[in-house]
Structure 1
């Protein structure tokens, strides 16, 4: 079984979310722990999707769960709205836009990858 385009897109958007988190950390967004878990969660998931999803289809579920987990955490924490509203503070704005856009797109591509991997082929 080959890795689908949706699985590759899922991994790309997971890595985009990592880039967004790194931009936020580097630009000094307050409230990040010394070792934030988000880049590790998204990055390791992206690596697993790229390297193992062709062999183990269930890995694709991680490509949905990880970005949804990060997105729910961001929604519950809530401070990202202020960063998205302040375009003038470019670093935090760009990092947040990359993160939120990346995890939403990763979740959507993850669902498509799971759907592709588990679809039944019609027998005629």
Structure 2
């Protein structure tokens, strides 16, 4: 079984989310812990999807759950709205836009990947 394009896209957008988090950390967005878990959660998930999803299709569910977890956490914490509303503060704005766009796209691509992986083959 080969990796689907949707699974590769899922992993790509997980890594986009990682880039967004790193940009936020480097640009000094307040409130990040000393060792923030988000880059590790998304990065490990992206790596698992790329390396194991072709053999273990259940891994694709993690490619949906991890970005959903990060998105819900961001929504509950709530400060990203202010960063998105201030494009003049370039680093935090770009980092937040990449994170939110990355996790939303990862959820969408992950859903397509799961759908494709579990689609039954029609018998004619």
Give the TM-score normalised by the residue count of structure 1: 1.00
Partner SS state of residue 12, structure 1: helix
- 2:12 is aligned with 1:48: no
Q: CA deviation at 1:107?
A: 0.4
Unpaired segments of 5 or more residues in structure 2?
Answer: none
Aligned residues: 124
Query: What root-mean-square deviation, in Å, do the aligned CA atoms of Structure 1 and Structure 2 show?
Result: 0.3
Deviations 1:64-106 (A, max 9, x none): 0000000000000000000000000000000000000000000
TM-score, normalised to structure 2, is: 1.00
1:28-47 C-alpha deviation (Å, 9 max, x unpaired)? 00000000000000000000
Cα distance, 1:121 vs structure 2 = 0.8
Map of 2:71 onto structure 1? 71
| Cross-structure match for 2:89 | 89
The answer to whether residue 66 in structure 2 is matched with residue 29 in structure 1 is no
The structure 1 segments of at least 4 consecutive aligned residues displaced by more than 3 Å after TM superposition are none
Q: Distance in 1 between matches of 2:104 and 2:77?
A: 17
SS of residue paired to 2:24: helix
Corresponding residue number in structure 2 for 1:13: 13
Match of 1:58 in 2: 58
Answering whether residue 118 of structure 2 is matched by residue 118 of structure 1, we say: yes
